[in-house]
Structures are given as C-alpha cells and as structure tokens.
C-alpha cells in the first residue's frame, strides 16, 4: 500500500505482553512505548498500585496516545469465570469486570476487553446464558460512562478453552448481545485463528458486523513443539503458524471487507511476547518489521 498503515489503523501494542511484568517495570515499559511514534495506542491491564496507574495515565496523555484497557488478566490470573454456572462464581467475575470499567476510565480508556471462561460440554448452553448475563451487566455499566465492551475470541479446546470460541458461536453471541446493548463488540486476534482451526477470511467474514478491535500475533499449534498453544511467540518462531505471508493475507481480507476506514480507524495491536530470555524490545522491533513488510506488499 502506498498509504501509511497509520491512515487506516491506530497501531498499538499490549504492554504486559511486550514487556512481561516479571522482567520489566510497568512505568519504564509505558515510557518506552509512549516514546516510540510507531505507536498510536497502548493497551494496558490492571494496576495494583494506584500511584503507578496515575503516572502511567499522565505519560500516555503527554504522549498524545490512545489507551485501551485489557481486563483479561483479571480473569486469567484469578481463575474467575464470567460464564461460571455457579452463580456466586459468576458474580465474582462480574464484579471484577465492573471494577475494570472504573479502572479503564481512570486511565482514559474508552472501553474494556475481556474473554469468556472455561466450559463443559454438558453445561455449554447454561454457560452461554451465564455469559450473556455477565456481559449485559458490564455493557450497561460501561454505557453509563460512554464506554465500549469488547469480547476477545479465544480458542475453545487447545489452551485457554474459552466458551467463545469458534467464530460461528462468537457470531451468535454477538448477535444476541447487540439486541441488548449497542456498545458491545468483538475483538479478533490473528494469533488465535490457528488455535481455532480457522482462517482470516472465515473469521472476519463470519464476524464482519460485530468486529470492533483487532490484535495480531503468532501461535504454535503443532503438538509437542515449544511454545505450543496460546503463547503469543514472535513472528517467525520455530514451528509457528504466522509470519509475513499470513499477516499479508489478514490485511488483504481486512481490505476486502471494508475495514480500512481513514475517517474512523480501528485499533490494531500486536500481542507478541518474548519467549524464555528473549528481549522484549528486539521482539517489538521485529514485529514492526513484519508489519511494515506485509503492509508494503498489500496491493492498492
């Protein structure tokens, strides 16, 4: 494409993936990302320290970036399940998501993203109804603040084993939610397409009316190989599914389906993390190279 990718997308990165908290101070990470003008946005997760949260928010404001809030760690790190068939468990998950809306507002985000929880075949429909209940409550609360709620589509049987799930079920859920709440949408991630045994064309065409946010990344889906599952290794990782060619295919489908909107650009963020001693900043640089190459190969 002759046009810059920034004309059509707000490019971001998932901060806690680019710089895992075990190895990087969150404020140092935010500053590194905020000082890089490749990034129009940053996706941030929960803060345990309110003072650090405010400092991060101030840096993001000074850098004139948009901020998105990921509530996924609130669920994955605690085992809370928004589609828990046990009502008390469901309410605990709902409560942390309502707290996420408040924290996102404090950071200046216009919405939150989260994921469905684990499920069992014999209670799948019950879990679906529980997820509708949780999501509607969170959407109504977010709407009172003028905020969006995005459900990220994950694998259903490989790693996270989330209820939502393959694209057709995600489409059903999104349609049900849109009849209740207009501020609901879906977040789709290129790195999850191999883990749901689907293609960019199938996922994006199936979910076209409901997609509000994009992630890109990689996955290893060959059993027995290093980083197998939903681990978000770098592009080009050994035995992995995605590299420049797959990202180019993803961009082609987005273009065909009308997602290149210069008036209202979609957010598109990397979800790529260093693996076992790799350097997060080198991984960031490599990811940008893959994006630049794939975008350059995209036909006008």
Give yes or no for a contact between 293 and 37, defined as CB atoms under 8 angstroms apart. Answer: no
At 278 the pLDDT is 98
| pLDDT at 293 (0 to 100) | 98
Residue-wise pLDDT for 24-77, tens only, equals 999 999 999 999 999 999 999 999 999 999 999 999 999 999 999 999 999 999
Compute the average pLDDT of residues 20-25: 96
Specify the pLDDT at position 141: 98
Q: Are 229 and 254 in contact (CB under 8 A)?
A: no
pLDDT tens by residue, 45-56 = 999 999 999 999
Q: What local confidence, expressed as pLDDT, does residue 155 receive?
A: 97
Give the span between the Cα atoms of 259 and 262, in whole angstroms. Answer: 9
The SS3 call for residue 150 is strand
Give the confidence band of 2 by pLDDT, cuts at 50, 70, 90. Answer: very high
Percent of the chain with pLDDT over 90: 100
Nearby residues of 91 by Cβ (< 8 Å), 6 or more positions away: none
The mean pLDDT value for 135-161 works out to 98
Confidence at residue 274, expressed as pLDDT on a 0 to 100 scale:
98
Token digits of residue 119: 């499920």
Query: Pairing relation of β-strands 111-115 and 66-70?
Result: parallel
Please tell me the predicted confidence (pLDDT) of residue 102: 98
For the domain 5-297, what is the CATH superfamily, name and number? Answer: Divalent-metal-dependent TIM barrel enzymes (3.20.20.150)
Region 131-146: what's the mean pLDDT?
A: 98
| Other beta carbons less than 10 A from residue 197's beta carbon | 13
Mean pLDDT of the region 239-249: 98
Range 8-16 average pLDDT: 98
Question: What would the two tokens of residue 264 be?
Answer: 């209202």
Average pLDDT value over all residues in the chain: 98
Per-domain boundaries in the chain: 5-297
pLDDT of residue 119: 97
- Angstrom distance (rounded) from CA 158 to CA 141: 32
Which pLDDT does position 284 carry in this prediction?
A: 98
Asked if residues 194 and 219 have their Cβ atoms less than 8 Å apart, the reply is yes
The rounded radius of gyration (Å) of the Cα atoms in the chain is: 18
pLDDT at residue 172, rounded to an integer: 98
Distance CA 166, CA 176 (A): 16
Please compute the mean of the pLDDT values over residues 103-132 and round it to a whole number: 98
pTM of the model: 0.97
Please report where in the chains the tokens 């970036």 appear, as a residue: 65
Which residue from 75, 28, 53, 41 is spatially nearest to 280, judged by alpha carbons?
A: 28
% of the chain with per-residue pLDDT over 70: 100
Task: Report pLDDT for 66.
Answer: 98
């Amino acid at each position: 494409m002759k046009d810059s990718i920034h004309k059509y997308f707000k490019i971001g990165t998932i901060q806690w993936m680019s710089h895992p908290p075990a190895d990087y101070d969150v404020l140092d990470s935010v500053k590194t990302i905020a000082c890089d003008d490749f990034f129009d946005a940053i996706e941030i997760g929960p803060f345990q320290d309110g003072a650090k949260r405010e400092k991060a928010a101030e840096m993001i404001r000074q850098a004139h970036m948009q901020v998105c809030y990921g509530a996924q760690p609130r669920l994955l790190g605690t085992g809370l399940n928004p589609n828990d068939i046990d009502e008390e468990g469901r309410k605990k998950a709902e409560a942390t998501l309502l707290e996420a809306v408040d924290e996102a507002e404090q950071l200046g985000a216009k919405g939150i993203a989260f994921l469905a929880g684990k499920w069992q075949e014999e209670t799948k429909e019950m879990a679906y109804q529980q997820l509708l209940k949780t999501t509607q409550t969170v959407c109504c609360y977010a709407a009172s603040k003028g905020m969006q709620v995005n459900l990220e589509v994950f694998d259903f049987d490989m790693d996270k084993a989330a209820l939502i799930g393959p694209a057709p079920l995600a489409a059903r859920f999104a349609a049900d939610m849109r009849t209740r709440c207009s501020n609901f949408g879906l977040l789709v991630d290129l790195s999850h397409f191999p883990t749901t045994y689907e293609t960019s064309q199938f996922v994006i065409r199936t979910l076209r009316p409901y997609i509000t946010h994009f992630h890109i990344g990689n996955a290893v889906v060959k059993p027995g190989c290093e980083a197998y599952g939903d681990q978000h290794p770098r592009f080009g990782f050994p035995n992995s599914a995605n590299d420049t060619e797959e990202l180019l295919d993803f961009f082609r489908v987005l273009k065909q389906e009308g997602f290149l909107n210069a008036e209202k650009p979609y957010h598109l963020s990397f979800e790529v993390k260093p693996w076992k001693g790799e350097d997060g900043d080198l991984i960031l640089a490599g990811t940008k190279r893959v994006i630049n190459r794939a975008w350059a190969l995209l036909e006008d």
